Amino acid sequence: MWSLFEDESVKIKWEGKIISIQPRTRVWRYLTSNRTHYHIGYNIFVAGKCDEGLEVFCVAISEKQHLKSDFRIGDVVSGTGWTKKYSNREFADFYRAGSLKIHKKCKPAEDSECPWTGRMPLMDVYEYRGARMLAKSMWNGKCFTCYYAAMANVEIQWDFDRDVKKYRFESFCYGPKSCKNYKPGRSRAVPYKGGKSALDDGNLDEMLTDHRDFDD
């Protein structure tokens, strides 16, 4: 998709129960020569209500906001947010969250086995771990509540000289390679102007996570 779809951004109110928290990431792709992951905060998925009429929605928050409130699955929360200016660049429904309030606090779940739902890792932990491609069906299913799952805002450098980018969303996993839920899904095409798309078939995953052992 192209970057021309600009919407008016408006401030809204929302409230509800957290059903998942994941890292919010941005990924820059250039053919298969580069896949850089930036870790920019968290996406909290909420079942509740908001001014836009959604019953399940995603709110982007900063690491600082998370550190202050230590959000967990099950917490009942409310806040404000802004609708997206570029719907093809931002996965979260609302960003620039504010006035965050916790109405009911849950105990953190024990980290026993996947999906991991205990206390959220900080950004430098994700940065250190590196990500592998995760099948979207797993992200939507068994992995949805796992704090190692992420739906990234992806920028594809489609024309280097004129700095033209394409945008899409892609699912990734930061979890142990031994996780029984892991499925990479299909190879991902990375287009470039005037040529055949390159295929990200898992080689970049190996490169980005080869410092981790199978169970790490």
Closest contact distance (angstroms) between CB of 89 and ligand SF4 is 23
Q: How far apart are CA 31 and CA 84, in angstroms?
A: 27
Question: Does residue 114 belong to the site contacting ligand SF4 (CB under 6 A)?
Answer: yes
Closest contact distance (angstroms) between CB of 187 and ligand SF4 is 18
Residues 169-198, mask of contacts with ligand SF4 (x by CB under 6 A): ----x-x---x-xx----------------
Instruction: Tell me the C-alpha to C-alpha distance, in Å, between residue 2 and each of 10, 12, 32, 92.
Output: 22, 26, 20, 18
28 has which bridge partners?
Answer: 36, 155
Instruction: State the number of binding residues for ligand SF4 (CB under 6 A).
Output: 14
Which pair of tokens denotes residue 17?
């129960």
Closest contact distance (angstroms) between CB of 110 and ligand SF4 is 15
Type of residue numbered 178: S
Question: Does residue 130 belong to the site contacting ligand SF4 (CB under 6 A)?
Answer: no
Nearest of 187, 185, 126, 165 to residue 29 by alpha carbon: 165
Q: Which residues bind ligand SF4 (CB under 6 A)?
A: 114-116, 134, 138, 143, 146, 148-149, 173, 175, 179, 181-182
